[in-house]
Amino acid sequence: MKVLRGTVFGGIFYFLLGWLVYGIIFMDYFTAHINQCANNADGSMIWWAIIASNLAAALLLTLILGWSNTVTVTGGLIKGAIFGGLVTAFIDLSFWSMTNMYDSLVTVAAETILSAVVFALVGMVIVLTRGKK
């Protein structure tokens, strides 16, 4: 039940925070610095896929926090930041090495740092909503 709670609340929070951070606050920056050729032509999303993606990320972070017995807000923030930063770094550096998706390493670094902050907050929410032992 704790895994389900962490996944659902973490996934919902990740979706909303991602919409705020990437879809509103930093949208203009990333639109200007990331090649848009792979985006859907009409700008529409496949909603079930973005929801499944958010839930999968929240499930993975919930499992990691559970396996590491993380029960404090600080622990959730730190481990969430490490998770988000590392996952984003390995994906973005892979894209940087094989595509022309990013215009510079500054964009890769910015997205990595931003993702670390977002996942730190998601980690906090998961720890707070997962429940105590």
Which tens digit of pLDDT belongs to each residue from 38-66? 888 776 889 999 999 999 999 999 999 99
pLDDT at residue number 132? 66
What mean pLDDT value characterizes the chain? 94
- Determine the length of the chain: 133
Query: DSSP code of 71?
Result: -
What does the alpha-carbon distance between residue 96 and residue 35 come to, in Å, rounded to a whole number?
Answer: 11
What does the alpha-carbon distance between residue 51 and residue 118 come to, in Å, rounded to a whole number?
Answer: 16
pLDDT at residue number 130? 87
What does the alpha-carbon distance between residue 7 and residue 56 come to, in Å, rounded to a whole number?
Answer: 8
pLDDT at residue number 79? 98
129: β partners: none
Phi, then psi, of 60 in degrees rounded to 5: -60, -45
The secondary structure of the chain in percent helix, strand, coil, rounded to multiples of 5, reads 80, 0, 20
pLDDT at residue number 37? 85
pLDDT at residue number 40? 83
pTM summary value: 0.92
Q: What percent of the chain has pLDDT over 70?
A: 98
